[in-house]
């Protein structure tokens, strides 16, 4: 009988940890995607019907397999292993002034970039090759992008479940011994 009680308390603790883990990294903004460097959309502003180059820097991103690129403003495209870019045509019905999310997926990880639609003629998609850019600094460390309220809530849930498991285990022990 004691094994069932201990197993129930352990299951309660594991359940609490399972529900706390996604809250530690989930958020409404795009800064919490696992990988964000090494992906790009050139140009980042284009008119409806224009062409853009979606690209992946294999060394920076760490992605060695194929990359699936999706957006609400163009058809899904796959950048195959060994290639670093693909050319896509933006839908003609894209709304001028709108900003669309472009999602790069590689091996279960995702990165998000923005594509802005401007008015006028389609923009020439040159350059087709990566343009050297500066280093993206300031996002390092183990607490970059964390929300203290989410961390506190997760810690409170974990502490509460551990406390409840301890209380139930100790209370049941007293009943078995007497």
Q: How many CB atoms lie within 10 A of CB 29?
A: 9
**Rounded to whole angstroms, how far apart are CA atoms 1 and 106?**
48
Residue 44 · residue 115 · CB < 8 Å = yes
Task: For residue range 56-103, list pLDDT tens digits in order.
Answer: 888 888 888 888 999 989 989 998 888 888 999 998 888 888 889 999
175 has pLDDT over 90? no
Which is more confident, 1 or 38? 38
Helix axes 148-177, 2-25, angle to 10 degrees: 180
Cα of 126 vs its chain's centroid, Å: 29
Q: Alpha carbon of 39 to those of 36, 86, 169: distances in Å?
A: 7, 12, 51
Cα of 153 vs its chain's centroid, Å: 21
Q: How many CB atoms lie within 10 A of CB 46?
A: 24
Terminal CA-CA length for the chain? 15
Which stretch, 7-11, 15-19, 100-104, has highest mean pLDDT? 100-104
Q: Output the pTM of the full model.
A: 0.49
Pairing status of strand 51-56 against strand 85-89:
antiparallel
Average pLDDT over residues 106-113: 85
176 has pLDDT over 80? no
Matching residue, tokens 């285990």: 169
**Rounded to whole angstroms, how far apart are CA atoms 108 and 47?**
31
């Amino acid at each position: 009988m004691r094994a069932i009680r201990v197993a129930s308390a352990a299951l309660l603790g594991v359940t609490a940890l399972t529900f706390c883990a996604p809250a530690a990294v989930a958020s409404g903004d795009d800064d919490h995607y696992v990988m964000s460097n090494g992906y790009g959309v050139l140009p980042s502003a284009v008119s409806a019907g224009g062409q853009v180059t979606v690209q992946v820097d294999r060394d920076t991103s760490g992605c060695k397999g194929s990359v699936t690129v999706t957006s609400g403003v163009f058809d899904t495209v796959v950048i195959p292993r060994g290639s670093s870019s693909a050319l896509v045509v933006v839908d003609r019905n894209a709304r001028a002034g709108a900003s669309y999310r472009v999602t790069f997926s590689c091996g279960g990880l995702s990165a998000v970039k923005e594509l802005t639609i401007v008015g006028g003629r389609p923009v020439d998609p040159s350059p087709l090759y990566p343009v050297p850019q500066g280093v993206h600094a300031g996002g390092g460390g183990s607490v970059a992008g964390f929300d203290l309220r989410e961390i506190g809530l997760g810690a409170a849930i974990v502490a509460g479940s551990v406390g409840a498991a301890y209380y139930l285990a100790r209370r049941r022990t007293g009943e078995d011994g007497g």
